[in-house]
Structure 1
Amino acid sequence: MKIAIIGAGAMGSLFGARLAPLCDVWLVDAWEEHIQAIQRNGVQLTNLDGSTERVAVYATTDPTTVGGGVDWAIIFVKSHQTAQAAVWAAPMLKADGLALTMQNGLGNLEVMADVLGAERCVQGVTSHGATLLGPGQVRHAGAAATYLATRPAIAERVQRIAELFTRAGFETHLSDNLDSLLWGKLIINVGINALTAILRVRNGVLAEVAPARALMDAAVDEAVAVARARGITLPYVDARARTREVAVATAANRSSMLADVLRGFPTEIEVINGAIVREGARLGVATPVNQTLVQLVQALEATYAQRVA
């Protein structure tokens, strides 16, 4: 099986390192320093138990280098790069090749479908966590199940990649309806990502500091109200408690949004908290806390150049 992972950030590098010993894997990313480090030394992976290993993986900044014959293009880029990633994936994929998104937030599948066609796109949800430690270096920061959407026309192909993921150490299950899990992950990200970016703290601080915890709870409550208005049944009973559990379990992690802010990069605020605000407006559910979080992160992005050291 030939796999192209488009977006070799923390999650892309983790999946690439775990899958490379089992199949033909290419990492594709525009970050030259990172790709050059992988080309020289492989992905330097720190495992959950603290052990380290170097894994050789094909890596490139030029998507044409991958060539054709790709069975699966796995999309891990930031949401604002999804359309470009789909354009890159199109000439790589075999006639029956599929593109899988396991990105944060809502709307990425639809963006991919606009480029590739809905019949070639697959939704996934993973709760694994990873942190980039530097160019070519990634730490596996948390493990949980991965879920892939399936349908009769592609069931055999999805089953094969699910089995490959499981062999690589990513426990994977199939589902014909991922809405519950997709929203379950979204709501946790709503509670954690923006606040860690604004406060510039690691995840665990949100559960420890009372004012931060109150804001996290308020953002989560609004997201739950929107999910209920949409008719979504969440995969947990108490969203506040589940979000706090994740913050504690990943206490040492820097969220992806915090990492973006620290590097002066665009964030995914629009597809996380912004998605809650848009759906709330459509459904008549007030979301003032999430609206404020969106505006604060947008203000951070707009003032990167004026930041006081």
Structure 2
Amino acid sequence: MKPMETVVIGAGAIGMLCAAPLAETEGVALRVAASGERLNRLREHGLFLNGRPLQAEFASEGGDRTADFILIATKAAGYADALELAAKFTGPQTVIVPLLNGISAEEMAKRRFPENNVVCGFFLGHASVRNGNRIEHDGVGTFYLGSTVSEAPEAVRRTAELFRSAGISCGIPEDMRAALWKKFVLNIGVNQATAHFRADYGGLQRDPARLEFTMRLMREASAVAEKLGIAGAADMPEAAMHTILTMPGNVKTSMFQDVEAGRATEVALFAGTLCRLGRETGVPTPLNDEILREFSGK
């Protein structure tokens, strides 16, 4: 049987949680796609998850091996370039699977690949810790898959089968649009608040004022979601706060890790998106406006 040709673009904190188990799955031929200096570094130094080296081919183009699935897990700033790199591995039957934070990745992928099925996804669980080419993760978390633009239930089912064949925990929400917004509301709160206060989860959990700040960020997001007709929007801040309060205190969000490392944050993806939607819908987002100015100067 022909192996399932699978390409991962962005084998970092999230991408490695897919790449590592897929690389060890019978019937899957895994390639990690990159270009330029990053490709050279990958070939020279490799990638590691919890100390185990990733056994995969590193490639910059597909050649005559078009992909069955392309999983894209870059940061938002690298997404446009990742879509162009994906084109080098894409054939008529390729399923494009963006696994980014935010609520717009599927739409962007569908614009770039209008003839292909696009399955969007996100990860909900403990954050990975990245140090160069080494990723550490405790195994707690689940990927959620669906489609809001493509209406591609068969592609969603096949993608879930791929994940499960590798032992990757995944689910298929009944309402993917609502599920994306639920994660977005959580990110609006916890990623931005931990970056603002330079704190891990414990640094929020122990401080009522910081928790209230976090809740205000999330209430602005849920107000926009309500205006857009997202199911269950009013309940999202309380659900997100429950998640925040039950996380291990020593876990650091990805945005706080970016701040600590001096990397660009994803504030444009979080507050930037929300503030734009707030203006479009007439919903005020003053605290998220402040966060956007703090981290982007806009």
TM over 0.5: yes
1:18 aligns with 2:44: no
Residue 278 (str. 1) matches residue 283 (str. 2): no
Q: Which runs of 5+ in 2 are unaligned?
A: none
Q: Which amino acid aligns with 1:137?
A: R
Match of 1:237 in 2: 235
Match of 1:64 among 58, 61, 64: 61
Report the CA distance between 1:203 and its aligned residue.
Answer: 2.4
Q: In structure 1, how many angstroms separate the alpha carbons of the residues matched to 2:264 and 2:64?
A: 29
1:37–1:135 Cα contact (<8 Å) kept? no
**C-alpha spacing 1:59/1:247, structure 2 compared with 1 (3 Å):** farther
Contact 1:180 1:233 in 2 (8 A): yes
User: 1 CA distance for matches of 2:119 and 2:49?
Assistant: 29
Provide the residue aligned with 1:120 in structure 2.
117
Query: Post-superposition shift, 1:179?
Result: 0.7
Q: How many residues align?
A: 292
Taking a change above 3 Å as real, the CA distance of residues 236 and 242 of structure 1, as seen in their structure-2 partners, is farther
Counterparts of 1:163-182 in structure 2, within 5 Å, are 163-175=161-173, 177-182=175-180
Residue 277 of structure 1, CA deviation? 1.1
Displacement after TM superposition at 1:28 (Å)? 3.1
Q: Which runs of 5+ in 1 are unaligned?
A: 46-52, 303-309
Shift of 1:196: 1.4
Task: Check conservation: 1:70, 1:92, Cα contact below 8 A.
Answer: yes
Matched, 1:138 2:141: no
Larger mean Cα displacement after TM superposition, 96-105 or 260-269: 260-269
Q: Determine the structure 2 residue equivalent to 1:305.
A: none
Query: Are 1:150 and 1:174, in contact at CA under 8 Å, matched by a contact in 2?
Result: no
Structure 1 residue matching 2:145: 3-state secondary structure? strand
Matched residue type, 2:162: L
What's the CA shift for 1:278?
A: 1.3
Q: Which amino acid aligns with 2:132?
A: P
User: Where do 1:198-237 residues align within 5 Å?
Assistant: 198-234=196-232, 237=235
Distance 1:228 1:40 in 2: 47
Aligned partner of 2:12: which letter?
G
Q: Output the CA distance in 1 between the equivalents of 2:85 and 2:46.
A: 25
Matched, 1:2 2:5: yes
Q: Do 1:14 and 1:130's aligned partners in 2 also have CA atoms closer than 8 Å? A: no
* Aligned AA (1:113): K
- The residue that corresponds to 1:43 in the other structure is 48
The structure-2 alpha-carbon separation of the partners of 1:284 and 1:58, relative to structure 1 and needing over 3 Å to count, comes to same
The reply on whether 1:254 has 2:257 as its aligned counterpart is no
Q: Which sits farther off after the overlay, 263-272 or 178-187?
A: 263-272
TM value normalised by structure 2: 0.85
Please tell me whether the aligned partners of residues 192 and 267 of structure 2 are also in contact (alpha carbons under 8 angstroms).
yes
Taking structure 1 as the reference length, what is the TM-score of the superposition?
0.83
Deviates more, 1:124-133 or 1:147-156: 147-156
Residue identity in the other structure for 1:107: S
Q: 1:73 aligns with which of 50, 67, 70?
A: 70
Deviates more, 1:276-285 or 1:203-212: 203-212
Is the Cα contact below 8 Å between 2:16 and 2:49 reproduced in 1? no
- Listed one character per residue, the Cα deviations across residues 103-123 of structure 1 (whole Å, up to 9, x for unaligned) are 001222222222222643221
Matched with 1:48 is: none
Instruction: After TM superposition, give the deviation of residue 148 of structure 1 in Å.
Output: 1.7
